[in-house]
Structure 1
Amino acid sequence: MCEMCDGKSWEQVREQNRKRIARYGYTTVLVEGSPGSPPFGYTMGLTKSGHPELLVTGLDARAAQAMLTLFATMVLSGQESFVPGLALLGDECSVYSLEVVHPEDVLIWAHELYGCRMSAIQLVWTDVEGRFPWAPNANPELLQPLHGILPPSWGAG
């Protein structure tokens, strides 16, 4: 999963990302987790279309890729535009859009490409019981670090 770990140089990965963005309108970056640091993934390329990049945390690579692909495709086709505070309610999972406060600290490749023009929305997902991570009875095993500030109406518990 780590292209640089597999021997590619920074320049090779950057060029590959640029080619994917040119071809598909975006690409995804998936970051493996480690003890105490859950995995995360994000888009790169939505900035070019005037939309914030998308970030998900706490999902394995396959689930993160699926979620990012679904929502990036919706953005690029004009079906959806994510803004802070948007809640999408689904049968199996709901998603809340949270503005990422310091995207440059998390979306490293996107920041390298777009600099300060880049902004990001974190897609915070519910557990199987429909609970967001800030709910008092949320599953503590589902680590989903938040990279933004919740509106006061949502509370943190």
Structure 2
Amino acid sequence: MCWQCDHPEATRADYHDVLRRKILAHGWAVQYVGSERTPFGYTIGLHPAGLPELLVAGLPPETTLKILNTLAGYMVREVEPAPGDTMQLADEWHGEFVAVAEPHAHMGLGLELYGPALRGLQFVWRDRDGHTPWCPDFNKGGLRQPVLGNRSAALSP
């Protein structure tokens, strides 16, 4: 269950406090949005460091958490990927970065904490056969992955 479901008496401000504590302890938090149609997850807490928040769509919670934590750690320690950059992760995950066109539509808690200047960068993963969502053969019979921006669109400052 979700934190808010487990704490029905809590307010949205209480959950913001939980997120702030996680961000203070770890540098960022991951918010997973479960959905039968298209689950997704995103980071909250990279924005104060001048970085875009990260988003992954169409994967189960454990995989989403692992990918986002790996990417966030890389961005904090190494470099911010640009839209159009590709990356190979451990466990054979390979993907391309796409600027999220409308972060306010997908990263609500980040927006609530940091305001409208929030930027988003989606890690668009390839399926087991190496196909991207732009390919008609992408993930046949598996989860779909919406792409939440234009391919290789630059992030606005």
Do both share a fold (TM > 0.5)? yes
Q: Report the equivalent of 1:14.
A: 16
Q: Residues 86 and 96 of structure 1 are in contact (CA less than 8 Å); yes or no, is this contact kept in structure 2? A: yes
Q: Residues 52 and 118 of structure 2 are in contact (CA less than 8 Å); yes or no, is this contact kept in structure 1? A: yes
Moved over 4 A (4+): none
2:139 and 2:148 mapped to 1: Cα distance? 19
Deviation at 1:50, TM superposition (A): 0.5
Q: Report the equivalent of 2:86.
A: 87
Secondary structure at 2:139's aligned position in 1?
Answer: coil
Equivalent residue in structure 1 for 2:28, among 26, 29, 35 = 26
Q: Residues 98 and 150 of structure 2 are in contact (CA less than 8 Å); yes or no, is this contact kept in structure 1? A: yes
The amino acid across from 2:118 in the alignment is M
Taking only aligned residues, the RMSD between alpha carbons, in angstroms, comes to 1.6
Secondary structure at 1:5's aligned position in 2?
Answer: helix
Larger relative contact order, structure 1 or 2 (CA cutoff 8 Å, min sep 6): 2
Deviation at 1:89, TM superposition (A): 3.5
Matched, 1:147 2:148: yes
Secondary structure at 1:55's aligned position in 2?
Answer: strand
2:34 and 2:121 mapped to 1: Cα distance? 20
Q: How does 1:113-132 map to 2 (within 5 A)?
A: 113-132=113-132
Structure 1 gaps, min length 5: 153-157
Q: Residues 93 and 130 of structure 1 are in contact (CA less than 8 Å); yes or no, is this contact kept in structure 2? A: no
Deviation at 1:90, TM superposition (A): 5.1
Q: How does 1:49-128 map to 2 (within 5 A)?
A: 49-77=49-77, 79-89=78-88, 92-128=92-128
- Give CA-to-partner distance per residue, 1:122-146, whole Å, 9 cap, x none: 0000111111111122124321111
Aligned length: 149
Structure 2 gaps, min length 5: none
2:83 and 2:124 mapped to 1: Cα distance? 11
Q: Residues 20 and 27 of structure 1 are in contact (CA less than 8 Å); yes or no, is this contact kept in structure 2? A: yes
The amino acid across from 1:112 in the alignment is E
Secondary structure at 1:21's aligned position in 2?
Answer: helix
Q: Residues 85 and 97 of structure 1 are in contact (CA less than 8 Å); yes or no, is this contact kept in structure 2? A: yes
The amino acid across from 2:33 in the alignment is V
1:131 and 1:89 mapped to 2: Cα distance? 14
The amino acid across from 1:143 in the alignment is R
